[in-house]
Amino acid sequence: MKALKIILIGTLILLIGVTAVFAGGKKEVDVITIGVNAPLTGDIPKVGEGTKFAAQMWLEDINEAGGIEVGGKKYKVELVIEDNESKAESAVKVNTKLITEDEVLVIVGPQASKQAVPSGEVANNYETPMVSPWSTNPKTTKNRPYVFRGCFLDPFQGPVVANFIKEEFGFTKAAVLYDVASDYPKGLAEFFKAAWEDLYGPGSVVAYESFTTGDADFSAQLTKIIRSGAEFFFSPQYYNEVALIVQQAHQLGWDRPIVGSDSWGSAETVELCGKDCYGLFFSTHYAAAGARGATKEFIDRYNAKHGYVPDDVAALTWDVMHIVEEAIKSCAELTGDLKKDRKSVRDAIAKIKEFDGITGKMTFTEDGDPIKCAVIVRISDAGEFEFYKSVCP
Amino acid sequence: METQNSKSPTEKTNVLNTIRNSINKVLNLIRNYFSEVPLLGWFIGTLTAVSLEQLVGRLIALSLGLPKIPVLFGFVTILKHPYLIPSTILYMLVIYILPIVSIARLTVPITNWLAGKLLVLPIFISVIIHLGLLYLIMHLWSGISDYRVLMLRFILIAVIATLSLNVVNGYMGEFSCSHPGFMALGAYGASICTVVLFVDDSMFGPALLPPAIGPFMFPIALIVGGCLASVGAFLVAIPSFRTRGDYLAIVSLAFTFIVKSLIENLEIIGGARGLSSQPNWANLPSIFICAVACVWIINNFVRSTLGKALNAVRDDELAANVMTVNTRRTKMTAFLFAAFWAGVAGGLLAHVLRYVNPGTFGIQKLAEVLAMVYFGGLNSIQGSILGAIGFNILSEALRPLAIYKWIIIPSMLILIMIFRPTGLLAFKEFDVKKIISPKQKQKKEVQNVIASN
């Protein structure tokens, strides 16, 4: 008993002592906190990794410059990167925590629409600006003045692909293979179909085949597409499925073009797909190979640091971080009253015109969606994403 | 410590034994010291603690060098800033542990007397008083931050979902994997009700009823969602109850996938894009009421004759049948009943997120609910409550660790399965009267009983 008492009292004294030491180091007041809501674990950890790395690279730059200058005063910047486990509930929790606990000025993320839609609601309710670099669901920003995004929308991308094929190949018969269970491929497949039928009339999409997330065998759908007499097929899938689809199509004897969308733009696509993907086209936000200027600088830095060429998520996050930076800089002053500051940052983002990012020039519409150009990329014979042409709205 | 290696094995076990004994001694001491504190005493202690936090929490936190009040018992801060550990522990001591412990202990005579008085009243009045206190505690605690409110809402929903799965997996002894499917049905059922009737939406057009009466109709929407889940359960029950064990698990897993695919292909309710713009009616009080109703009803269910029959079916279906238990009906009722509550949980979840998509109700959700049930304990109400709270707080607290979290939580589950195969608090009866009654062995009461006899 005596020993217990001594231990207890000893610990208490130690605690107080240690606290006293650390309590001395007060937190600085002039800090801007920026929240990043990223899927570091879960279904798409590669996306979370790209987000995190790009955001950290941006922070390095800011730290080198000594912070962000607002109204003649330098502010230090702190990033709070939180994991949303690629789940809607967690993304909502993370956003609430960032806003109420970490008291961030602005949130970057979440990336996937299934998290961005409910999180956008939270951000809008708390009047905190949020910019999702990658979410393409119109609901994310619709009627939410505080929510923005960094990428073009599917209703724009669908026609871009359709027009590109018309001009490039002059094909008239299209086929589509997409994942019916996943929100992004499904939406894009529909927009592409509508755009193609606008060009060539109903019936010009000769095969419209679907599968479900997690399927690994596409031979039934591919056989149908081959038999339908389509001249090419469009498959707006994620990198893991792209490899399987392309390889299986080639095994079944398909030798015509396969066209993809921005979800192909991951560093993993070529790694998994190999030679089968060489020579194929897809539409995306930016092209890594043959990039110039700021884009090249970003790619080289990222590659040197993390050992692979950044995908579109990283590039878009990088752009969004700079949009946020510019918006904060253009505020007249930061009052320290979060509500006011958040409002002024929000207004500043909405006012941004012709922002020159590495994924193209951006101007925000009233809905918080950017007007920007799409890039058509060809996968070169060395497996690199080569710039082919640029399509503007 | 260094000398331990040189000691012989017997000496080593001796040392270990003494350590274990002394730990047990201390634990017993603490247990004995607090054994006389009734639930009311704990509640009053906690109430004091949370009020204290409201009043001076900020001041104390700042003076201890913390940036602000540690929101989730400090877990979130200390993982990111380990140097704040001592201040956080001190804060917890000053604000929570000391007030709760001292007040709970000091008020023993008063609270026991009060609890005894309350017991004289009809049981539901004293239960309502206790619940009122509990809600007050939650309200004050979550008053510090909206993050806490959100956490509580998710935890209470998890309690409902876990309890409903426990009816099937614990009390009935089957292994059902269809809970995400039921939750999805409930979520969509309730959402469609509220969105069609009370919201001007681009998908379903203008509201059919004035939104002002909406909040009062919310329970009905939840019940509709629950009933829809029950109908789904009925459909899966007919073919699957010819099977048991592994086969039922597979059939019910298939059901989850069917529901998911069905919703994905139903364009009219949004398909894979999901359904949004649910009204914000699932606030803390309404979820609290639902959770209390759920605990109360499920507890009554499992303690009824039907519940006992359910246990009999679990232990030996054939024997139960011989003992005149209508096994088929029993299993069916329990399954539909559990599905109903899963549906309610889904409906509430949809109204907290204010967005549902079929992807939410997949294998990941199943793993989560199953983990909560087996973590907390089979066949026990307390177990499910503990499982839901523990799992949620743990997973929130470990969030900063990102990928390591998915090593720590599963390893904890493995450890629990090894050392307590049925969960932490398994096979316990939830006796409300026993829980709220005074804990002091009152001589007076005994004398009264003798006298009245």
Interface test with A, best of B355, B361, B372, B394 (most A CBs within 10 A): B355
Among the candidates A284, A301, A323, a domain finishes at A284
CATH code of the domain in which A238 resides? 3.40.50.2300
By C-alpha distance, the chain A residue nearest B270 is A183
Each residue's pLDDT tens digit, A39-80: 998 878 888 999 999 999 999 999 999 889 888 888 999 999
Looking at the complex, report in whole angstroms how far the Cα of residue B274 sits from the nearest Cα belonging to chain A. Answer: 8
424-453 of B, contacting A, C-beta below 8 A: none
ipTM: 0.86
Q: A118 and B151: CB-CB below 8 Å?
A: no
Of B147, B352, B353, which is closest to A100 when you measure between CB atoms? B147
Q: A89 and B154: CB-CB below 8 Å?
A: yes
Q: Is residue B422 part of a domain?
A: no
Among the candidates B360, B378, B408, a domain finishes at B360
Check whether A25 has a pLDDT greater than 50. Answer: no
Interface test with A, best of B151, B357, B365 (most A CBs within 10 A): B357
Q: What is the pLDDT of residue B8?
A: 61
Q: In this structure, are B243 and B355 located in the same domain? A: yes
Q: Is residue A20 part of a domain?
A: no
Can you tell me the distance from the alpha carbon of A52 to that of A37, in angstroms, rounded to the nearest whole number?
A: 9
Q: Is residue A15 part of a domain?
A: no
Q: A137 and B76: CB-CB below 8 Å?
A: no
A188-192, A224-228, A262-266: which has the minimum mean pLDDT? Answer: A262-266
Q: In this structure, are B167 and B131 located in the same domain? A: no
Q: A186 and B273: CB-CB below 8 Å?
A: yes
Domain membership of residue A120 as a residue range: 31-152+293-372
Looking at the complex, report in whole angstroms how far the Cα of residue B353 sits from the nearest Cα belonging to chain A. Answer: 6
Of A19, A82, A118, which is closest to B354 when you measure between CB atoms? A118
Q: What is the pLDDT of residue B84?
A: 84
Domain membership of residue B193 as a residue range: 146-360
B146 close to A (CB below 8 A): yes
Each residue's pLDDT tens digit, A91-116: 999 999 999 988 899 999 899 888 99
Q: In this structure, are A109 and A201 located in the same domain? A: no
Q: B84 and A25: CB-CB below 8 Å?
A: no
pLDDT (average), residues A198-210: 91
Among the candidates B143, B170, B189, a domain finishes at B143
Q: Is residue B26 part of a domain?
A: no
Q: In this structure, are B132 and B170 located in the same domain? A: no
Q: What is the pLDDT of residue B3?
A: 45
Q: What is the pLDDT of residue A327?
A: 92
Q: What is the pLDDT of residue A146?
A: 95
Can you tell me the distance from the alpha carbon of B51 to that of B35, in angstroms, rounded to the nearest whole number?
A: 25
Q: Is residue A385 part of a domain?
A: no
Each residue's pLDDT tens digit, A137-178: 888 898 899 999 998 888 888 888 999 999 889 999 999 999
Q: In this structure, are B124 and B187 located in the same domain? A: no
What percentage of chain A has pLDDT greater than the value 70? 95
Q: For chain B, which residues score pLDDT lower than 50?
A: 1-4, 443, 453
Of B150, B364, B400, which is closest to A87 when you measure between CB atoms? B364
Q: What is the pLDDT of residue A308?
A: 87
90-129 of B, contacting A, C-beta below 8 A: 90, 93
What integer best gives the mean pLDDT of chain A? 88
B406 close to A (CB below 8 A): yes
Interface test with B, best of A2, A6, A139, A140 (most B CBs within 10 A): A139
Q: In this structure, are A313 and A272 located in the same domain? A: no
Check whether A135 has a pLDDT greater than 70. Answer: yes
Of B87, B89, B402, which is closest to A83 when you measure between CB atoms? B402
Q: In this structure, are A187 and A279 located in the same domain? A: yes
254-273 of B, contacting A, C-beta below 8 A: 260-261, 264-265, 271-273
B2 close to A (CB below 8 A): no
Q: In this structure, are A161 and A249 located in the same domain? A: yes
